[in-house]
Structure 1
Amino acid sequence: MNRYQAFMKIMETGSFTKAAEELGYTQSAISQMIRALEEELSTVLFLRSRKGITLTPDAEEFLPYIKAVHYSYRELEEKRREMQGLQKGIIRIGTFSSVSSNWLPDLIRDFKARYPSVRFELHQGEYTSIAQLIKEGSVDFGFVNPDAQAVSELKTIPLQQDEMLVVVSQNHPLTCKEKISLRDLVDEAYILLDEGQLSVPLEFFKRENLHPNVQYRVHDDYTIMSMIESGLGISILPKLIISRSPYCIATLELSPPIVRTISLAFKNKKVLPIASRYFMDFIVERYGRTS
């Protein structure tokens, strides 16, 4: 299995030398592993040039299968370590910024108070990329919006609903209005939070046959709030992320309100590492709808 691990590490680092350093092998040993894998697959996997390492067309075709073998073996190793006790577990989570900045710090702190040796890997993304990470086994589970199409093949546990608020600069004329509708926003420069294939605000604009004036598409909530503070436009963001905003901005409630659901998503809880199963239960206990 070392040759699959070497392949994945070379892809991650873009270098045979860096892969060898991180895995604790000599560069010669890494090269031998890749040659053995190439012989097994009867093809060449990497092309070297002055610009670095690139995959061959054959390697691109084999990539999903190599990933599957690599992640399956990693799950097998996790299961073996699980037999040695929960204390040695690694919990891999796909998450987006509002959850990772508001929920996860306290959850991790309290969970580690019970299980001090458990380690965490947080993979930041949006609904679509998080769903893909779960499907391919890069993470054990993740936080998603269950309405996203990419999540449809996964099992989900709803946690909480999160209201979406209009965010404007503090001196914006809209702050004088008692009620804000989507129609009030269509002429404003709109800063869109890139959430993958699903944008909750855009879905609601579409339902009302409205077209926002999207001037910017941004991946980070905090960058959007900074841009709004500078008067570059307005946006609609989740209340959860705004609750800890350090920016001088104003928030307005929509009428009718827009709400997103935050859920846990996973493939098969029964085969997850025990530490991840325990942490999922811990999350549901803390933030589940019945809590």
Structure 2
Amino acid sequence: MHINLELYRIFYITAQLGSISKAAKELFTSQPAVSQSIKLLEEKLGGQLFYRTPRGVSLTLEGEVLFKYIEQGYGLMQTAERKFLELKNLTLGQIRIAACSTTCKYYLMKYLEEYSINFPNIKIYIKDQPTYKIVRALEAGEVDIGILNMNIENTDSLNINKVFKLQDCFVVGEKYKTVSEKEISLKEMLDGYPIILPEKGSDRRDSIDNYISSYGLKVFPQIQLSSMDLLIEFAKKGLGVSCVVEDYIQKELEEKQLYKVSIKEKIPERVLGIATHKNIPISTATEEFIKLIKV
């Protein structure tokens, strides 16, 4: 049986107010229109819903049974409308972000902090993943925003909302300071000093390996680490030449805790993109976060 939901709404309002005239005012329509709708609903259901009283209308036994169920459904619809408005007004919702831990700490953190202050009721979920997993998560709808390396081959399914560049470099602490005092070749550095690199499988390690192999060289790092903080600290402690992101160590360079090694073969910049899926609508919460990071 197919019955227009509007007929149930008119029935619900009339039963709640106990008056056809009051229902007409509430619904911004005429009394005959309300009466006709009720009559149509009764015909479709095959039974009487109201009977007239001196004060208006009252529910029949069948009408009372119907009202109990309609009341529950109407309440759920009102709750749904309220939750929808909460999502649109950013008093409820979530954003799911995928990025590597280094990007989270050195790039995203300031935006996450500001966003959580502006929208304290929005839940923020973070996944620490490499680029290929971020793409999969975006395509599967598991995350709303991904921050990934732009060296991926296929970005047709993605909207890139912003790109920014990062420059990798090699640094040393006080122990190996002399290596920073003149320009040397990549081969000299690899052959002459203990090398500290990001661990295998990370986006940065793939980028560095590609850079080194492009000059026909191989690297056999003495130390491989998972975090930028450790790469910085190991270099500061004099344990070798460490590959870090120059943009993130300005303080250490200024305070002469680290020294940049000048390599003849310049390391290419890495380009990162802030991506969403083209075919998956973004929520208001996600849209506001993207606006924030695009400023």
User: What SS does the corresponding residue of 2:211 show, helix, strand or coil?
Assistant: helix
User: What SS does the corresponding residue of 1:240 show, helix, strand or coil?
Assistant: helix
Q: Is the 8 A contact 2:161 2:290 kept in 1?
A: no
CA distance in 2, matches of 1:260, 1:181: 21
Displacement of 1:81 after TM fit?
4.8
Select the residue among 167, 170, 187 that pairs with 1:163. 167
CA distance in 2, matches of 1:206, 1:224: 21
Task: In structure 2, give the amino acid aligned to 1:222.
Answer: D
Give yes or no for the alignment of 1:237 onto 2:233: no
Give yes or no for the alignment of 1:284 onto 2:294: yes
Q: Is the 8 A contact 1:134 1:140 kept in 2?
A: yes
Q: Is the 8 A contact 1:98 1:241 kept in 2?
A: no
CA distance in 2, matches of 1:268, 1:96: 22
Give yes or no for the alignment of 1:265 onto 2:275: yes
Structure 1 residues 76-124: Cα deviation after superposition (integer angstroms, max 9, x where no partner): xx99955433221211111223322233232123334433322211222
- Aligned partner of 1:47 in structure 2 is none
Q: How many residues align?
A: 207
Cα gap change, 1:247/1:176 in structure 2, threshold over 3 Å: closer, same or farther?
A: closer
Cα gap change, 1:272/1:240 in structure 2, threshold over 3 Å: closer, same or farther?
A: same
Displacement of 1:282 after TM fit?
1.8
CA distance in 1, matches of 2:166, 2:122: 29
Equivalences for residues 49-88 of structure 1 within 5 A: 81-84=83-86, 85=88, 86-88=90-92
- Aligned partner of 2:125 in structure 1 is 121
Moved more, 124-133 or 243-252: 243-252
User: What SS does the corresponding residue of 1:258 show, helix, strand or coil?
Assistant: coil
Q: Is the 8 A contact 2:164 2:273 kept in 1?
A: yes
CA distance in 2, matches of 1:247, 1:94: 34
CA distance in 1, matches of 2:154, 2:225: 20
The runs of at least 4 consecutive aligned structure 1 residues that moved more than 4 Å come to 78-83, 149-153, 244-247
Q: Is the 8 A contact 1:161 1:260 kept in 2?
A: yes
Q: Is the 8 A contact 1:180 1:253 kept in 2?
A: yes
Give yes or no for the alignment of 1:110 onto 2:120: no
Q: Is the 8 A contact 1:185 1:212 kept in 2?
A: no
CA distance in 1, matches of 2:281, 2:240: 46
Give yes or no for the alignment of 1:190 onto 2:195: yes
| Larger-Rg structure | 2
What is the percentage of aligned positions where both structures have the same residue?
18
Displacement of 1:277 after TM fit?
1.9
Structure 1 residues 133-161: Cα deviation after superposition (integer angstroms, max 9, x where no partner): 32333321111111145867544344211
CA distance in 2, matches of 1:151, 1:174: 40
CA distance in 2, matches of 1:218, 1:151: 29
CA distance in 1, matches of 2:85, 2:174: 56
Give yes or no for the alignment of 1:137 onto 2:141: yes
Task: In structure 2, give the amino acid aligned to 1:141.
Answer: I
Task: In structure 1, give the amino acid aligned to 2:122.
Answer: V
Cα gap change, 1:241/1:96 in structure 2, threshold over 3 Å: closer, same or farther?
A: farther
Cα gap change, 1:270/1:130 in structure 2, threshold over 3 Å: closer, same or farther?
A: closer
CA distance in 2, matches of 1:157, 1:253: 34
Q: Is the 8 A contact 1:131 1:150 kept in 2?
A: no
What is the TM-score with the length of structure 2 in the denominator?
Answer: 0.60
Q: Is the 8 A contact 2:95 2:123 kept in 1?
A: yes
Q: Is the 8 A contact 2:157 2:279 kept in 1?
A: no
Give the RMSD, CA atoms, in angstroms. 3.1
Cα gap change, 1:261/1:209 in structure 2, threshold over 3 Å: closer, same or farther?
A: same
Q: Is the 8 A contact 2:232 2:244 kept in 1?
A: no
Runs (5+) with no aligned partner, structure 1: 1-77, 286-291
- Aligned partner of 1:206 in structure 2 is 213
- Aligned partner of 2:260 in structure 1 is 251
CA distance in 2, matches of 1:102, 1:265: 18
CA distance in 2, matches of 1:129, 1:211: 27
